[in-house]
Structure 1
Amino acid sequence: MKQTLIFNIVLTVSLLVNCLYAQEHVPMDVKATRETVELYKSLMSIQSKRKVILGQQDALCYGRYWKDEPDRSDIKDVTGSHPALLGLDFQPLTHVEKPYRESETKRLVDQVKEMYQRGGIITFSWHMSNPVNGGTYEWKNNPQLAVKEILPGGKSNGVYQSYLYKIGDFLAQCKGAKGEPIPIIFRPFHEFDGDWFWWGKGHASTEEFVQLWRYTVSFLKDNLGIHHVLYAFSPDCKFQTSSDYLAQYPGDDYVDILGMDNYWDFRPDGANDPAAASLKMGIVSCIAQQKGKIAALTETGLEGITDPKWFTMVLQPMLTKWPLAYCMLWRNSVDIQTHYYVPTEDHPAAEDFKKFCRKDHIILLNDLKLTYNSELK
C-alpha cells in the first residue's frame, strides 16, 4: 500500500512537470523523419490524455480459424474494427531457407504498407536466430552463448552485421505512397530478464547486453542511416523495483519507449496476481514520465481467456490506473488450439471484450486519428 502511494505521488509530480515541457518530447534520434517525430508526439499525446491504443500480434495475418484473408482480423470480427497497432516479427529476415526468407520478407513489407495505409501503427519484435550457429532463438533448444561473440571483436560480429543489413534493407522497402519511410516501433532483445532466449538472463553480462543494445541501435541509425524507427525497451515482468527495471537499461539516448511483457501475472491456471501486474506497470509508467518517454504494455494477455470477464475486470483497471500509450495482446494461433489471446465471436468472453473495446479510453483502428501519415491528411 505504501509503495502504491509513493508511486501515485511521483506520478502526479511527473505528469505536472511533463505538461510544462511537453513541447520537448521528441524521439532520441535527432535525425528522425518527420513522420516518425509525428508518431512519437501522437503516442505521447494519447498517453497524456489517459487513452490506450489496443494492438495485437499478427492480427491481420491470421486468426484462430482462418489465414491470409484480406481485411480480416479476429478483433474486427468481434468489434467491427481492426486493432490500431499491428505486431510483426523480423524472424523471417534471417531464416536459413532462402525461398521462405524471400517470400516472407515480401509478405511483411506488404503488411507494413497495408497497415500504414489504413492509418495504423506497426511494431516489430525479433525472435532472432542465434548468429553464432544459426540455431533457434530458444535457449533450451540451442544453448549456445552468443552475445559476447556478436559484439565488435567477437568471432560472429560479421554475421550479426549481416543480420542488421537485412533489417536495414527491409526497412528501406517500407515506404508510403509518397516515398516516405514508414515509421516502425522496434523492440529488440525483448524479455531479456528471463532465461528462455539466447540473449537473456545468465547468457550475457549486464555490460555485454547494454553494449549489444547500443551497438544495434547505433549501427542501424548511424551506419545504415535508418531514421524512421522508435526503439522500445521491454523486459519481462521479473522486476520488483525501479532499480530492477533499469538494471540493464542502455540509456535515454538509445530508447524511446519503456515497456513490459507480462503473461506470468495473468496465468490461465488461476494463479493470477493482477495487483502485482498493476504495480509493475506503475513502475514502468512512472519511470517513463520521469524520463519524458512513452510507456507501453508491450505484450500481454490471458492464454485461452479462461476468465470470461478478464478484459473488463482485470486488464481494464490496470490500463486506466497508469498513463501508457498502447497495449499489445499476443497472437491468435491458427494451428495451436489453446494459444489465443483475443476471443472469437463464439467465445464466452466475446461480450466482455466488446464492452472493453467500447470504453472511451480504448482506441481501435476506427478511432485512431494520427497525423504521422501524410496520406491521410
Structure 2
Amino acid sequence: MKLNRIILTSIFSSLLFFGSGASYAQSLSDKLATKETVALYKNLHKLSKRYTLFGHQDDLAYGVNWKYVAGKSDIKDIVNDYPAIYGWDMARIEHDSLKNIDGVPFSNMKKYIQGGYKKGAAITLSWHFDNPLTGGSSWDTTKNSLASILPGGSKHQVYVSWLDKSAKFMGSLKGSKNEAIPILFRPFHELTGNWFWWGKNASSPAELKKAWRFTVDYLRNKKKLHNLIIVYNTNGFANEKEFLERYPGDDVVDVVSFDLYQFENQDKKAFVDTVRYELNILSKIAKQKNKLAAFAETGYEAVPDATWWTETLLPALNGFELSYVLVWRNAGYVPSMKKMHYYAPFKGQVSESDFKKFYQTDRILFEKRLGLKKIYQSH
C-alpha cells in the first residue's frame, strides 16, 4: 500500500505540474504550426504555473568589455549557466546588411540561435526596422509612416520586400534534423509608446492592427513560416483598455507582454508597485484570452542597486504566472551615449552576489534546468 501511495502521489504530482490535456487546451493561433513550435508553446504554459524563464538580449555575442568570444557570457561568468531564453534583433536585415543594428553579424546570430536551441533554450526575436517612408531609423516618428506600408500604401512593396528578407533569415534557422527552430517573434514592439514610427503618436490603432494582421498573414501563408509564436508587446499602460487599444486579434497573437524599465530617478517601491499593477492586468488578459504572459523587457541601466535582483525584480514578479522575463543587452560603454549601457551583471559588478542569490531561486529558470525539461518535445 505504501508503494502504491507513493506511485499515486507521483502520478498526481506529475499531473499537477504537466497538466492533463483538458487542463491545457491552449493552442497556437497558427493551426499549421510545427510540432516543435506547438510543444514549446504548450510547455511554456505548463512551466509558467511554477517557473519563469530568465532571458538576456544578445547574451552570447558580447558583454561589458568583450565581443565575440566563443562560449562567453556575462551571465555565465557569474553563475556558470546561461539564460533560459535568448533575445536577438533583426534590424538592418531589411537592407541586406551583414550585421544588425548592434553590430552582430547575422551569420553569428544564426549560430547562437542554433546553439541555444540545441541546448534546450528558447529564442525570441524583435525587429527595430527602419522607417520605410523616410529612410530614417525606427525612432523616426514621421506621420503616416505606418500607413505607407499598408496594402495600397506608397511603401507597401518596400515593406513586402523587407518581410521577404526577414522570412528568409527566420526560415533558415534550422535544428540538427532540419526542423524549423521555434521563434517567439515580437514585431512592432512597445507599440503603445510614442518613440517608434509604428507607435501611438505616428499611427492610429486601426493602422497598427492592419499592419500587424498583414505581417502575420504574409509570414504564415505566403512565406510558409509555421515556427513563429507571435508576441504582442506594449510599453507601460494605465488600464486594460489602453493595453488592448491596438490589439489585433486573438487569431494573430499567442503571447501578451509589456516592457518596463526602472530609471535612476524612480523609487524602488514605486517601480515594484507599477510592475505589479501592470502584471495584474496582463495576467487577467492572458487568462481571459488563453494566452501566455511575459515581461518581455526590463532592467535597471548599469544596475546600481546592489540588491536589485532579489529585492526589486523578484518581489515584482512574485505570484504571477509569467512565461519569461528578459533584461536588455550588455553593451558596455557607449561613446554616443557617453555612459555605460548594460542591464545584466558581470564579474565585479555591484549586484553580482545578489544575482547569484537570484539564480538560486527555484522559480527562476536558467538554461541548465530548462534543458532538462525538453521544451521542444510533447509530454
Equivalent residue number for residue 86 of structure 2: 86
Residue 268 of structure 1 contacts residue 304 of structure 1 at CA under 8 Å; is this kept in 2? no
Letter aligned with residue 227 of structure 2? H
* Distance in 1, Cα, partners of 2:167 & 2:40: 20
Letter aligned with residue 190 of structure 1? H
Equivalent residue number for residue 213 of structure 2: 214
Q: Is 2:286 the partner of 1:285?
A: no
Equivalent residue number for residue 69 of structure 2: 69
Residue 127 of structure 2 contacts residue 187 of structure 2 at CA under 8 Å; is this kept in 1? yes
- Shift, 1:290, TM fit: 1.6
* Distance in 1, Cα, partners of 2:320 & 2:266: 24
Residue 151 of structure 1 contacts residue 157 of structure 1 at CA under 8 Å; is this kept in 2? yes
Equivalent residue number for residue 363 of structure 2: 361
Classify the secondary structure of the residue corresponding to 1:195. coil
Residue 125 of structure 1 contacts residue 187 of structure 1 at CA under 8 Å; is this kept in 2? yes
Superposition map of 1:166-245 within 5 A: 166-237=165-236, 239-245=237-243
| Higher strand residue share | 2
Alpha carbons of structure 1 residues 99 and 120: separation in structure 2 relative to 1, 3 Å: closer
TM-score (norm 1): 0.89
Classify the secondary structure of the residue corresponding to 2:55. strand
Equivalent residue number for residue 163 of structure 2: 164
Classify the secondary structure of the residue corresponding to 1:280. helix
Equivalent residue number for residue 244 of structure 2: 246
Alpha carbons of structure 1 residues 100 and 59: separation in structure 2 relative to 1, 3 Å: closer
Residue 294 of structure 2 contacts residue 325 of structure 2 at CA under 8 Å; is this kept in 1? yes
Equivalent residue number for residue 345 of structure 1: 347
How many equivalent residue pairs?
Answer: 353
Equivalent residue number for residue 116 of structure 1: 117
Residue 39 of structure 1 contacts residue 370 of structure 1 at CA under 8 Å; is this kept in 2? no
- Shift, 1:66, TM fit: 0.8
Residue 94 of structure 1 contacts residue 166 of structure 1 at CA under 8 Å; is this kept in 2? yes
* Distance in 1, Cα, partners of 2:252 & 2:99: 32
* Distance in 2, Cα, partners of 1:20 & 1:111: 33
Residue 308 of structure 1 contacts residue 348 of structure 1 at CA under 8 Å; is this kept in 2? yes
Equivalent residue number for residue 152 of structure 2: 153
Q: Is 2:264 the partner of 1:268?
A: yes
C-alpha distance after superposition, 1:116-163 (max 9, x if no partner)? 112111100110011123321112xx6363111100000100000001
Alpha carbons of structure 1 residues 175 and 20: separation in structure 2 relative to 1, 3 Å: closer
Residue 53 of structure 1 contacts residue 326 of structure 1 at CA under 8 Å; is this kept in 2? yes
- Shift, 1:338, TM fit: 2.0
Residue 28 of structure 1 contacts residue 253 of structure 1 at CA under 8 Å; is this kept in 2? yes
Letter aligned with residue 60 of structure 1? L
- Shift, 1:40, TM fit: 0.2
- Shift, 1:21, TM fit: 4.2
Residue 190 of structure 2 contacts residue 259 of structure 2 at CA under 8 Å; is this kept in 1? yes
C-alpha distance after superposition, 1:62-120 (max 9, x if no partner)? 00121101111111111110101000001031136x45479823222222111111211
C-alpha distance after superposition, 1:207-261 (max 9, x if no partner)? 0011111110011001111100001011001x11111111111111010001010
- Structure 1 residue ranges (4+ consecutive) displaced by more than 4 angstroms after TM superposition: 18-21, 98-103
Letter aligned with residue 184 of structure 1? I
Structure 2: segments with no counterpart, 5+ residues: 1-15
Alpha carbons of structure 1 residues 177 and 103: separation in structure 2 relative to 1, 3 Å: same
* Distance in 2, Cα, partners of 1:217 & 1:105: 22
Residue 61 of structure 2 contacts residue 104 of structure 2 at CA under 8 Å; is this kept in 1? no
Alpha carbons of structure 1 residues 180 and 372: separation in structure 2 relative to 1, 3 Å: farther
Letter aligned with residue 83 of structure 2? P
Alpha carbons of structure 1 residues 85 and 224: separation in structure 2 relative to 1, 3 Å: same
Residue 143 of structure 2 contacts residue 203 of structure 2 at CA under 8 Å; is this kept in 1? no
CA RMSD across the alignment = 2.2
Equivalent residue number for residue 11 of structure 1: none
Letter aligned with residue 362 of structure 2? D
- Shift, 1:20, TM fit: 8.7
* Distance in 2, Cα, partners of 1:22 & 1:72: 40
* Distance in 2, Cα, partners of 1:27 & 1:318: 28
C-alpha distance after superposition, 1:261-280 (max 9, x if no partner)? 001xx112244421011110
Classify the secondary structure of the residue corresponding to 1:35. helix
Letter aligned with residue 346 of structure 2? T
Residue 92 of structure 1 contacts residue 105 of structure 1 at CA under 8 Å; is this kept in 2? no
Equivalent residue number for residue 54 of structure 1: 54
Letter aligned with residue 38 of structure 2? V
Equivalent residue number for residue 33 of structure 1: 34
* Distance in 2, Cα, partners of 1:103 & 1:79: 24
Letter aligned with residue 363 of structure 1? L
* Distance in 1, Cα, partners of 2:278 & 2:22: 26
Classify the secondary structure of the residue corresponding to 2:67. coil
- Shift, 1:335, TM fit: 3.6
Letter aligned with residue 93 of structure 1? I
Classify the secondary structure of the residue corresponding to 2:226. coil
C-alpha distance after superposition, 1:13-65 (max 9, x if no partner)? xx9xx98943311211000000000000111011122x110000001110012
Alpha carbons of structure 1 residues 230 and 281: separation in structure 2 relative to 1, 3 Å: same
Alpha carbons of structure 1 residues 71 and 254: separation in structure 2 relative to 1, 3 Å: same
Alpha carbons of structure 1 residues 170 and 99: separation in structure 2 relative to 1, 3 Å: closer
Classify the secondary structure of the residue corresponding to 2:86. strand
Residue 256 of structure 1 contacts residue 293 of structure 1 at CA under 8 Å; is this kept in 2? yes
Residue 85 of structure 1 contacts residue 120 of structure 1 at CA under 8 Å; is this kept in 2? yes
